[in-house]
Structure 1
Amino acid sequence: MHHPPAGRRSAHSAVALPEQPFFASAPQRAALARERLFVEGQRPTGLVAEPIIQSWQRCLVAHRQPGEKLAFDPVTASRRHGALQRGRPLLEAARPALERLQATLARTGVRSFLCDGEGLVVHSSPVPVDTEPVLGLASRLGVNLGEDAVGTTAPGLVLRTGQAVTVTREEHFFDLCGRLSCAAAPIRDRQGRLAGVLDLSTEGRAFTFDAAALVGLYASSIEDALLAEPDGDTLVLHFQADPRLLGTPLQALAGIDAQGRVAWANRAARSLLGTDDLQERPVAEVFGHELAVLMATAGTRGPQPLQLANGLGVWLRARLQMAPGARSDDGEGRRTPAPTLAPPAAEASTRAVAPEPAPSAAADAASTLAEHDHRLVLQALARNGGNVSRAARELGVSRGLLYRRLAAARGRPGESSGA
């Protein structure tokens, strides 16, 4: 094996290459890999990860050089404005997780970035520009972190491959990025397309924790929130092999539309169901039960046992998510959330597990989400003596919404408002 002469350093960094044929540390291996490819023109197979090598090669084919200066200039104002408008659903879904992440990272010196599906920065945590000049440039809204713009980085590789990745110091293509370490993970939409990239980066220091695990956890949380955004009446299924995982970022989530088809499923759900081919498949084919059986579990006390079509036993909580119109104001300018029928995760995990619904109960269950929704309204009215205001407060919706739902029910054949 070739090794450089004594005292020689790689063109990219100050990492000295030892006088021995084997390199124990990752920085030494990365420095040798750069020496092999950029100086000697040899492919450094085995010294760094294959995606890194392929990215370096793409940069070279594009006639880029490691010593080039990078400006990290934002895109044009019009393109930035368009990106922020298109990315609004992503930002809204991500905001709670980003706030928690910023608090988690507060004393670590690690910064967080959120890019859209094109690699443009749409959110970043505060960066002290005087001590972290490169991240200060990269963190500006509208900066393109794609491979074509800034070479080999974790966000750029996620955009290129769709897979989570970590890129440390000398593994970056450009010399200017040699003080950075970054870990990034993808965020996908309901159609499985790349909606965004979450990145954790640090400048001048190494990660002191498993950044890949943390960024993956928060990316999954953002993806779940994005998937679960209301879009028509939907039965949302929360399930896992262990009921204690319900209500955590590790829970499986799937949305069932009013026609009884799978509208979307998160990564955990796809893993438990054993396939990525889920969209628009009949719920009975995927979950092994008809829509009426699953709807009968909505609002029950505690998680329910369920056997999936593939034979796997899981624990299930279900809730009916109303269409976006449910998020109306209460007549006084306040926004009201859609009702959540399932108990909180902590409460559900400690309650006694209810038995699986009997076939007779499933047969009596409403056959559509709209009918089930109407029954819930009528039950709330009955519990509150017909008082619409109290029923609305119990369900967490406005009085106007209840009146509209009751009026709509009167227009359906065979329906009576019961009010």
Structure 2
Amino acid sequence: MIATEFEHRLLNVRSHYRVSPWISPRADEAPLLRSWQRCRDAGMREHESVNFELVGRAMLAELDDEWGPLVRSARPETERLASAVGGAGGVVMLFNPRGVIIDRMAHDSVVHPVLRLATRVGMNVAERCVGTTAPGIALAEGLPYLVGREAHFFANLRPFFCVAAPVDGPRGERLAALDITCYDNVPGFDVQTLVQDAALAIENRQFVPGDERVVVHFHPRAEMVDTAHEALLMVDAAGSVVGANRSACRLLNQPRGALLGRPFTQCFDRRLGALFGASLRRQGGDLVEMHSHDGLLVMARFESAPRGGTPAAAPPPSPNLAGLAPGHPAAGAPSEAEAETRLRDLELRAIHAALDAQGGNVSAAARRLGISRSTIYRRLGTPATGH
């Protein structure tokens, strides 16, 4: 692709920034230009057609074995995101580092048929397969990106509009990319902020305490602790930082690589040795003040594994909600109305217990209970998302 072709396509891409007020011009177009050039260098030509092949069951089973834990960890965020954007015909997807779709959430009744075909779990939409896309740039460049219309390398993908953000692990390893894609439609609301916030929340869910590690939650504003915007450090039993999220790097003004391996006492005026083996899962007033060595005052909460390690999962509730007894025989025979009320209460308690045990994953809770996802949504009075 020669320079004049670059310039012509960039003019078309820039014109799309005027489509919706929330889309702002990008100061750095280098990631997009690099993606186009990689496609060109790989022998791709923009008028070639991209086909979306069938996905075999064996491949789906392999994906679940390898990526199932990450998918389940991210599900509370992907389900919330799908509920938020589903009315606009968007599909929420999680990609592994190879560009393969490992999870998908959508209201399929309003999703364009072409988009349903292109977004099946197991589809490989890496740059080498489908050219320039937002998840491809997010995975390659490690930054959120928007690709719509002319920004796609291949002409037959230009009806697609996608926004993606990378998902990194506590040590900075690339875990996934989170994406919202629409077809022949640009949402009228700020999709990019929604994707970035959800990606941050998924990253934060990877900070899990254990027998040999403590998670430190902190922020200058107390109300921001335990939100998607909190800062997180993971510290091992030797007192060294072994994980840091993006907010921690910004607040401490250090790249992640400089924080990893650093003694916690070189970051803050507090020692963590006494915290290991003690349960610090308190409620309410568990925040303490800490000063960074640059003088920043933050409010912090320290989270370690309960004594004896991670507790075993709670036993599953009865899989048949309709079979739950409305009352104990010793209480006497309740009236029909009382029996119905007690049954509803027991059903709700079983649903909430299953959701808690599965980390908010509605699909897993439904399987655990032996009921459908729609039944859970009806009982809870919340809208369902297709999957």
Fold equivalence (TM over 0.5): yes
- How is 1:223-302 mapped onto 2 (pairs within 5 angstroms)? 223-228=203-208, 230-275=209-254, 276=256, 277-292=258-273, 298=280, 299=282, 301-302=285-286
After superposition, what is the alpha-carbon deviation per residue over 1:294-332, rounded to whole angstroms, capped at 9, x for unaligned? Answer: 7899548242221012221111122222489523146x5
Shift of the 329–188 alpha-carbon distance from structure 1 to 2, 3 Å rule, reads closer
Q: Secondary structure at the match of 1:264?
A: strand
The secondary structure found in structure 2 opposite 1:197 is: strand
Contact 1:233 / 1:322 at 8 angstroms: preserved in 2? no
Cα displacement string for residues 57-112 of structure 1 (whole angstroms, at most 9, x for unaligned residues): 22122121112121122566544433322212211210111111111113222221
Deviations 1:236-281 (A, max 9, x none): 2111111121121111112222222212111111111222122232
Q: Which amino acid aligns with 1:271?
A: R
User: One-letter code of the match for 1:168?
Assistant: G
C-alpha distance in structure 1 between counterparts of 2:72 and 2:248, whole Å: 23
Q: What is the one-letter code of the residue matched to 1:321?
A: A
Question: Is 1:101 paired with 2:81?
Answer: yes
CA contact (8 A) 1:74 1:141 kept: no
Q: 1:27 to 1:118 in 2, by over 3 A?
A: same
Assess if the C-alpha contact under 8 Å between 1:154 and 1:167 holds in 2: yes
Aligned to 1:208: 188
Deviation at 1:127, TM superposition (A): 6.0
- Rounded Cα–Cα distance in structure 2 between residues aligned with 1:284 and 1:292: 11
1:187 Cα offset (Å) = 0.5
Aligned mates of 1:90, 1:297 — CA distance in 2: 25
Q: Which of the pair has more CA radius of gyration? A: 1
Q: How much does 1:142 deviate?
A: 0.9
SS of residue in 2 equivalent to 1:119: coil
Q: How does 1:1-400 map to 2 (within 5 A)?
A: 26-27=15-16, 49-73=29-53, 77-126=57-106, 128=108, 132-228=112-208, 230-275=209-254, 276=256, 277-292=258-273, 298=280, 299=282, 301-322=285-306, 325-329=309-313
* Percent identity for Structure 1 against Structure 2: 30
Determine the C-alpha separation between the residues in 1 that align with 2:229 and 2:308.
Answer: 26
SS in 2 for 1:135: helix
Report how many aligned residue pairs link the two structures.
304
When normalised by structure 1's length, the TM-score is: 0.64
Q: Distance in 2 between matches of 1:120 and 1:329?
A: 31
The CA distance in 2 between the partners of 1:333 and 1:215, in whole Å, is: 33
Cα distance, 1:218 vs structure 2:
0.1
Instruction: Name structure 2 gaps, 5 residues minimum.
Output: 20-25, 318-355, 358-387
Give a deviation string over 1:101-137, Cα, whole Å, max 9, x none. Answer: 1111132222211111211101112364896233222
Equivalent pair of 1:297/1:317 in contact (CA under 8 Å): no
d(CA) in 1 for partners of 2:197, 2:85: 14
> Which residue identity lines up with residue 147 of structure 1 in the other structure?
E
- Decide which moves more: 299-308 or 122-131: 122-131
Structure 2 CA distance for partners of 1:126 and 1:28, relative to 1, 3 Å: closer
Kept in 1, the 8 Å contact 2:213–2:235? The answer is yes
1:4-34 deviations in whole A, cap 9, x for unaligned?
A: xxxxxx9x9xxxxxxxxx989624999xxxx
The answer (yes or no) to whether the contact 2:275–2:304 under 8 Å persists in 1 is no
Q: CA deviation at 1:292?
A: 4.6
Instruction: Read off the aligned partner of 2:292 and give its amino acid letter.
Output: L
In structure 1, what is the equivalent of residue 340 of structure 2? none
- Letter of the 1:50 partner, please give it: A
| Secondary structure in structure 2 of the residue aligned to 1:227 | coil
Structure 1: runs of 5+ lacking an equivalent: 4-9, 13-21, 31-45, 335-395, 398-419
Q: Distance in 2 between matches of 1:314 and 1:250?
A: 14
Q: Name the structure, 1 or 2, with higher relative contact order (CA <8 Å, separation 6+).
A: 2
Question: Aligned pair in 2 of structure 1 residues 47, 269: CA closer, same or farther (>3 Å)?
Answer: closer
Equivalent pair of 1:297/1:318 in contact (CA under 8 Å): no
Q: Retained in 2: the 8 A contact 1:89–1:226? A: no
1:350-405 deviations in Å (ceiling 9; x for gaps) = xxxxxxxxxxxxxxxxxxxxxxxxxxxxxxxxxxxxxxxxxxxxxx99xxxxxxxx
Taking a change above 3 Å as real, the CA distance of residues 265 and 130 of structure 1, as seen in their structure-2 partners, is closer
CA RMSD in angstroms comes to: 3.5
CA distance in 2 between partners of 1:111 and 1:137 (Å): 11
For 2:17 and 2:302, the matched residues in 1 are separated by 52
Kindly tell me: are residues 52 and 129 of structure 1, through their superposed partners in 2, closer, same or farther at Cα, counting changes over 3 Å?
farther
* TM-score of the aligned structures, taking structure 2 as reference length: 0.69
Say whether the 8 Å CA contact 1:231–1:323 is kept in structure 2: no
